Amino acid sequence: MRSLLVKRVAFALVLCGGLLWASVVPVNAAPSIIFTAVDPAGDDNGPGTYVYPTNPVFTPGAFDLLELQVIDAGENVEFRIKVNQTISNPWGGPNGFSVQMFQIYVDTDHQEGSGFVDAIPGANVSFAEAEAWDRAIIVEGGWGDEAERAAESNMFEDMLAAVLISHSARVEGDTVIVPVPKSFLGEPQPGWGYQVLLLGQEGSTSDMDGVKVRRVLKSNTEWKFGGSDESGLHPNVIDMFVPANSARTQAEILKAYDIDNGLYAVVPMLYS
């Protein structure tokens, strides 16, 4: 009888312990969208004048941003960037694409005097002092350490430490999905600012602008975009996001660089 009682007590303790354990095991929350931006189709022309290279790998719509979703995905923040074309990979980029470069910028404090106003070298744009970026992600083909070597050659150490080069992006149809560890980015907060620039990526070290950016020339060629003034201050940006309440269009923003004073066009952040 005593043995049976002991067994019943032991079973009850195990059961209670199991229930207690189950009550404290964390449950992974479903990913949640924390920010969304949309962009009109057909504005993949930078300041309004840019045209694609003539080689057929540069398919119409491939540089035309449509939507950005920022998703809280547990240990990562996931950026989902949709373009106006099924994404191809003609040169076998490990990240799932070959011709585009996405530069993601995040303002985590919205404070003047904090962060960087200069974009990643080669983009040829800047940000306002009050909208300076604190973290940035370069998303290109992902071959070896090509982008890392280009970044080390073109950035000072403080900017280099604030930039992540993604080797974990993937493609689903017309969308590039970029997981970014919160250990790098931080825990997303209301009021963060976001911007995505879409540029061409360049594989030739002798031909690239800054960090693997494909140049925009006066006239397009088989491998180069055309439509710029080749001033050196013209943006190499083919498309970007514009705040819904902006008084200016993308073309007006990107053509507002100042040759006389040597100033790049200032692009906006979009705030959550």
Residue 89: is its pLDDT beyond 70? yes
Q: How far apart are CA 254 and CA 99, in angstroms?
A: 21
pLDDT value for 28: 53
Kindly report the backbone phi and psi dihedral angles of residue 185, in degrees, each rounded to the nearest multiple of 5, phi listed first.
Answer: -90, -35
Pairing of strands 270-271, 265-267: unpaired
Tokens describing residue 145: 């350490």
Percent of the chain with pLDDT over 90: 87
The string of pLDDT tens digits covering residues 115-157 is 999 999 999 999 999 999 999 999 999 999 999 999 999 999 9
Band of residue 23 on the pLDDT scale cut at 50, 70, 90? very low
Q: How far apart are CA 73 and CA 185, in angstroms?
A: 13
Band of residue 113 on the pLDDT scale cut at 50, 70, 90? confident
Torsion of CA 173, 32, 130, 125, to 10 degrees: -10
Residue 29: is its pLDDT beyond 70? no
Mean pLDDT (whole number) for 206-232:
97
Q: Contact 228/218 with Cβ under 8 angstroms?
A: yes
DSSP string, 29-60: PPPEEEEEEE--TT--STTTT-B--SSTTS-T
What is the model's pTM?
0.89
Q: In which residue are the tokens 């976001």 written?
A: 194
Residue 248: is its pLDDT beyond 50? yes
pLDDT value for 30: 72
Amino acid 242 reads: V
Q: Is 219 helix (H, G, I), strand (E, B) or coil?
A: coil
Band of residue 245 on the pLDDT scale cut at 50, 70, 90? very high
pLDDT value for 5: 40
Band of residue 14 on the pLDDT scale cut at 50, 70, 90? very low
Q: Contact 78/252 with Cβ under 8 angstroms?
A: no
Fold of 29-271: Immunoglobulin-like (2.60.40)
Q: How far apart are CA 225 and CA 200, in angstroms?
A: 8
More confident: 69 or 16 = 69
Least confident of 28-37, 72-81, 89-98, 141-150: 28-37
Band of residue 25 on the pLDDT scale cut at 50, 70, 90? very low
